[in-house]
A and B are shown apart, each in its own frame.
Chain A
Amino acid sequence: MNGLRMHNNEFERRVQQKTEGLKIIPSEGLWDKIEGQLPPEKKRRRALLWLLMPLLLVAIITATWLLGGENDKALQKPIAQTGQQRSASTENLSVSQGNQTSPKENTLSLAPNPTSGQQQSTRAIIGLDSSAKQQPVAKQNIAVQLKTGQSVRGKAPIADNANKRTAATQTDIDSQTVIAQQQKKGNGSLFASYAKAMRVSITAGQTDTIGLVPSLDADVAMAKLAAPLFATIATKPAMADELLRPIRQVPINPLTIPSNAASPAGKAKSHWEFGLTFGAGLGIRADNLLSSQKNENNMAALGGGSVTPPFYASGSKPFKPGIVCQIGLYSQKHMGQRWHVQTGLSYSYLSNKQTVGSYVRDTVQRLVAGFTYPGSLNTSANNIIGYSNYYRSGDSTVYTNRIHLLQLPIELQYRLGKQQKWGLQTGVALAYMVQGKMLVYDQANRQYFSSPKAYNRMQLSLQMGAAFYPKPQSSLAIGIRLNYNVNSFVKLWIEEQRILSGLLYCNMPLKKNKR
């Protein structure tokens, strides 16, 4: 065996030589006993999955966010570029107008697309002739049945008066030209109204219904769509009102309007919304929620190591929940249609109750020593903790462990539902333990002590929850949140101490987000 010091003295040297080679074969069942005390292989993998899940979730969210950003950039590209890159899709907008002399044929209809599934309620096939069949055409092509009854396939025509309409030539649509022309004719508000409604429709994810892919610039798309329709109805205000009435009735969710709606050429803008968050709940010791290891005192080689502390003896339930509360400031930002990111600074108080024995005032200083190299003496100050007063093992006293934290959470929220009044959230929080008063078990002396030197000041916790948002456009929220600290509150060479807390919380915005 290497690593042994050799003696100069003959007696010691010979005894060492004789005895160090002693080998004894253990009894057969010994490995089974050891294996029984080791963490199961399978559960360890499960624990890893638990740890990876939030990371995976964060990665997915980040990827979604980044890809969303790419799409936003694509929206700024001219239609000539993006149009060529689009995949083939079908445009179901059919604008038809029959014989204008027949009042019946001039009836306007807003029929739901029978093939659009879930989004039927807000999708519309706009037609001036209810009897006209919906006519799917190639992307960017709008089939316009004009007064003459001729059907034009291809790029939609621009027609700023009845004469040009009848010509129905294939002309590239210049949205700016259309807008300018209509504004010049005093129809700007009408066009804008229609465009806004359509923009909402496009932004709300119904672009496939009207044959546009999300990368298409919304404003240009609007112009393309609106041009033939507008050209048809421009000279008939009554018809226009009739046409726009159902569109105006489409509920507009402010959250679905892109932030650059007011300035098509501008970049998306989102503002931080600030508010106050507070909550309260309960916390309980859950030392090994993420691993399968039996909790035990880790005072390792010098302290006796793997002996299970009395509070983990089977049937023993010495821990009871304690109060948890939190107050702080948050800042929230809208990141996409449904995604929000929230950060802030908060103060948290965690507690749990523990049953111990009687309190002993003692003047004798005891040392709890750890190791960095098991078996070796480690007398560095970082690895030795001294204490005098202590609690005995037992069940005569209820002690409240208290932890005060300053937290810096980063949280991602995903809003659910059409109204986006519900949301899920997940994130991490970096925390600093401002003050702690927790009992730690000294296995060697079989008693509990409290010492700031035994605590880990820096903490990382995982959090997840769900919330109700009464006003979807606001960060006002009422929800529940689970919080679990990943690293132990107590230094690992002594013991693992973790707390699982559940909070009922409320977010109250202080300043309304200007979007």
Chain B
Amino acid sequence: MTEHTQLVKSCLQNDRASQKELYRCFADTMLGVCYRYTKSQADAEDILQEGFVKVFKNLHQYRSEGELGAWIRRIMVTTALNYLKRNVRYQGQMAFDEVSLHPVADDDPRVDLETKELVGLIRQLPAGYQMIFNLHVVEGYTHVEIGQLLGISEGTSRSQYARARALLITWIKKNYSGHERITYAQ
């Protein structure tokens, strides 16, 4: 049982006020999730809208023993992935090369950036890198799971992640170690 059990029950009865309350509780956090996967806030809001509609229509499948926020978050993530897959603007950056395992860089820089700056850097990654980086680092998916989600091999996921990580570390070093700021050009 969670603190949102009653709210969920009301939402299941299609009570509009409860649905709005549920939205109000989670909208800003979930928009933050969607924002990390997109290049613009408008796209993030499109995903948020689609995701919440999906949440309300599938709320009967939510088991109250789980954390409601985590459940909604997973829906937002999968909604974001599908949004990116079918959106033409992202498709050019979504080609995953089938490559062999790629060693992860040993660099382990201290990350003293503010959240906004760090997310800004992640969002500058190519969409494919950005997606895998978010799935692995932020959402905690394993590479096996990412491979199944995106229809790619585990090795490809690892390789893409390694590249994304290396690129991000380079940018962090350059931007926040006294070097001139780099803006990633597509």
Chain A interface residues (CB < 8 Å from chain B): 1-7, 9-12, 14-16, 18-27, 30-31, 33-35, 37-39, 41, 44, 293, 300-307, 371-377, 379, 444
Asked if A377 and B148 sit within 8 Å, CB to CB, the answer is yes
Asked if A41 and B14 sit within 8 Å, CB to CB, the answer is yes
Asked if A10 and B50 sit within 8 Å, CB to CB, the answer is no
B41 within 8 A of A: yes
Asked if A34 and B53 sit within 8 Å, CB to CB, the answer is yes
Smallest Cβ-Cβ distance to B42: which chain A residue: A27
Q: Once bound together, how far apart are the Cα atoms of A26 and B82, in whole Å?
A: 21
Asked if A377 and B145 sit within 8 Å, CB to CB, the answer is yes
| Partner of A11 from B19, B35, B41, B108 at Cβ < 8 Å | B108
A38-B19, A377-B145 known; A15 and B79 CB under 8 Å?
no
Interface of chain B residues 111 through 129 with chain A (CB within 8 A): 111, 113-116, 118-119, 122
25 cross-chain CB contacts under 8 A: A2-B70, A3-B70, A3-B74, A4-B139, A7-B137, A11-B165, A11-B169, A22-B32, A22-B33, A25-B27, A37-B49, A38-B16, A38-B19, A301-B54, A301-B74, A301-B75, A301-B78, A304-B82, A305-B82, A307-B50, A374-B54, A374-B61, A375-B71, A377-B149, A379-B148
A336 to chain B, nearest CB (A): 39
B179 within 8 A of A: no
B140 within 8 A of A: yes
Asked if B28 and A301 sit within 8 Å, CB to CB, the answer is no
Q: Once bound together, how far apart are the Cα atoms of A392 and B183, in whole Å?
A: 42
A239 to chain B, nearest CB (A): 74
**Which 3 A-B pairs have CB atoms at the shortest separation, nearest pair first?**
A375-B74, A5-B140, A3-B70
Interfacial chain A residues near B29, Cβ < 8 Å: 1, 23
Interfacial chain B residues near A375, Cβ < 8 Å: 71, 73-78
With A34-B56, A302-B149, A373-B66 already in contact, 17 other A-B pairs whose C-beta atoms are closer than 8 Å: A1-B70, A2-B69, A2-B70, A3-B67, A11-B109, A19-B122, A25-B27, A26-B27, A30-B49, A31-B27, A301-B54, A302-B82, A373-B63, A373-B71, A374-B62, A374-B78, A444-B82
| Partner of B113 from A3, A18, A22, A25 at Cβ < 8 Å | A18
Chain B interface residues (CB < 8 Å from chain A): 14-16, 19-20, 23, 27-29, 31-33, 35-36, 41, 44-45, 48-50, 52-58, 61-63, 66-67, 69-71, 73-79, 82-83, 85-86, 107-111, 113-116, 118-119, 122, 136-140, 145, 148-149, 165, 169
Interfacial chain A residues near B32, Cβ < 8 Å: 21-24
| Partner of B115 from A9, A11, A22 at Cβ < 8 Å | A22
A-B pairs with beta carbons under 8 A, tally: 172
B34 to chain A, nearest CB (A): 9
Asked if B79 and A305 sit within 8 Å, CB to CB, the answer is yes
| Partner of A35 from B16, B54, B140 at Cβ < 8 Å | B16
Asked if B73 and A1 sit within 8 Å, CB to CB, the answer is yes
Interfacial chain B residues near A30, Cβ < 8 Å: 27, 45, 48-49
Smallest Cβ-Cβ distance to B51: which chain A residue: A305
B134 to chain A, nearest CB (A): 8
Interfacial chain B residues near A24, Cβ < 8 Å: 28, 31-32, 35, 41, 44
Interfacial chain A residues near B50, Cβ < 8 Å: 305-307
Asked if A1 and B69 sit within 8 Å, CB to CB, the answer is yes
Smallest Cβ-Cβ distance to B114: which chain A residue: A18
A472 to chain B, nearest CB (A): 46
| Partner of A2 from B44, B67, B138 at Cβ < 8 Å | B67
Smallest Cβ-Cβ distance to A43: which chain B residue: B14
Interfacial chain B residues near A34, Cβ < 8 Å: 23, 49, 52-53, 56
Asked if A376 and B74 sit within 8 Å, CB to CB, the answer is yes
Asked if B138 and A19 sit within 8 Å, CB to CB, the answer is yes
Q: Once bound together, how far apart are the Cα atoms of A39 and B12, in whole Å?
A: 12
Q: Once bound together, how far apart are the Cα atoms of A223 and B122, in whole Å?
A: 100
Asked if A38 and B53 sit within 8 Å, CB to CB, the answer is yes
Smallest Cβ-Cβ distance to A305: which chain B residue: B54
B102 to chain A, nearest CB (A): 16
A300-B54, A303-B82 known; A23 and B74 CB under 8 Å?
no
Asked if A16 and B137 sit within 8 Å, CB to CB, the answer is yes
Interfacial chain A residues near B82, Cβ < 8 Å: 302-305, 444
Q: Once bound together, how far apart are the Cα atoms of A24 and B42, in whole Å?
A: 12
B67 to chain A, nearest CB (A): 5
Q: Once bound together, how far apart are the Cα atoms of A5 and B142, in whole Å?
A: 9
A203 to chain B, nearest CB (A): 49
Asked if A26 and B48 sit within 8 Å, CB to CB, the answer is yes
| Partner of A19 from B36, B62, B110 at Cβ < 8 Å | B36
Interfacial chain A residues near B137, Cβ < 8 Å: 7, 12, 15-16, 19
Q: Once bound together, how far apart are the Cα atoms of A20 and B29, in whole Å?
A: 9
Asked if B14 and A44 sit within 8 Å, CB to CB, the answer is yes
Q: Once bound together, how far apart are the Cα atoms of A374 and B58, in whole Å?
A: 8
Most buried by B among A3, A22, A300, A376: A22
